[in-house]
Amino acid sequence: MTTIPQQRRTLTTTTGAAYSRIWGVGGYRPERVVTNEEICEHIDSSDQWIRERSGIITRRFAAADETVVDMAAAAAHEALRSAGLTASQISTVIVATVTHPYQTPGAAPIVAERIGATSAVAFDISAACAGYCHGIALANDMVRGGSATFVLVIGVEKLSDFTDKTDRGSAFIFGDGAGASIVGPSDVPGIGPTVWGSDGSKWKTISQRHSWIDVRDGDVDWPAITMEGPEVFRWAVWAMAPIAQAALDQAGIKAEDLDAFIPHQANMRIIDSLVKKLKLPDHVAVARDIAETGNTSAASIPLATQRMLDSGEAPHGGLALQIGFGAGLVYAAQVVVLP
């Protein structure tokens, strides 16, 4: 047993808000709409196959000179507007991304500077398609622990830069975009417990083809992100339903209490399977943004949330279950009150 040595002084620590909630959500979708026909110029596939197997009809690709930072800043401005806050009130910027093309520095400090949240705490996290839900978990704990007041959480990807457009297993699935939300103090609970974890034994199932060291030393192609689709599909369908259910249970919420289900937009068939396994009643609105946006990894959940709120599909102040899962493999789920 370890004994803690007697201290001459007691440390002063921070305490934060009783609870936290999401104050506002924003999104940015690049202008260019890319059809399945255009994708099929580079792979042996068809519009029909892509629609049936993934549910994707179109996706957006960013312009060549449009960066992860540009898209993140655009989504951040929308989130600030929606929350009724100014950038100077943001104490922390968390950017979840796997496609910022610099190993260092992270995108977050540049985004913070760009939007006017100068001197904010700013860092990136790499949790792929679960990155946004990881960011919400961190933000909730920071606000409640007293190390932050308002946290800007951004999920952003420019996957078109990291996709092999000739790879039949992944070229049709990914898209570009950014989604953001702001987590701040609340008198009532607005973010339920996060159920999260990882399975590193499956790291190879979604990965860049080569490391940067291979690129430097070897005669290798651009290290595009590729995926062992069927294996990831099976994992998502079988392992994620219990995680989503645990997030409901830990929040003390039943499926019938939900207003919306906002899973990572990976594949329409995965979404359908989760809806069935969770026995969600018909009144629960289900995010199906993948049809027009594709799989935007860390951006997919906030983008889908923004679409559902803007279209009136999900009510402001309603209860939503969100779950992110992907490369790592990693996952995170929580019930949130929609702003």
Report the residue from 22, 25, 34, 43 that binds ligand UT7 according to the rule CB under 6 A: 43
Interface with ligand UT7 in residues 223-262 (CB under 6 A): 229-230, 232-233, 236
Minimum Å gap between C-beta 87 and ligand UT7 is: 30
Residue span 185-224 as binding mask against ligand UT7, x where in contact by CB under 6 A, dash where not? ---------------------x------------------
> Environment class of residue 195 by beta-carbon count within 10 Å: exposed (0-12), middle (13-18) or buried (19+)?
buried
Q: Is 129 a catalytic residue?
A: yes
The span from the CA of 221 to the CA of 215, in Å, is 7
By beta-carbon proximity to ligand UT7, the closer residue of 81 and 168 is 168
**267: CB partners within 8 A, 6+ apart:** 53, 54, 55, 173, 233, 236, 290, 295
* Candidates 106-114, 210-218, 263-271, 278-286; binding stretch for ligand UT7 (CB under 6 A): 263-271
**39: CB partners within 8 A, 6+ apart:** 45, 50, 165, 171, 172
Q: Is 42 a catalytic residue?
A: no
* Candidates 74-82, 103-111, 212-220, 265-273; binding stretch for ligand UT7 (CB under 6 A): 265-273
Report the residue from 226, 267, 293, 322 that binds ligand UT7 according to the rule CB under 6 A: 267
**7: CB partners within 8 A, 6+ apart:** none
Report the residue from 172, 196, 261, 331 that binds ligand UT7 according to the rule CB under 6 A: 172
**Binding status of residue 37 toward ligand UT7 by CB under 6 A:** no
**Binding status of residue 109 toward ligand UT7 by CB under 6 A:** no
3-state SS, residue 285: strand
Minimum Å gap between C-beta 148 and ligand UT7 is: 28
The span from the CA of 191 to the CA of 30, in Å, is 29
Strands (E), 187-240: 195-198, 206-208, 225-227
Q: Is 264 a catalytic residue?
A: yes
CA distances from 58 to 61, 148, 150, 283 (A): 10, 38, 34, 27
Chain residues that interact with ligand UT7, rule: CB under 6 A:
43, 45, 49, 53-54, 129, 168-169, 172-173, 206, 229-230, 232-233, 236, 266-267, 270, 295, 297, 326
- List the catalytic residues: 129, 264, 295
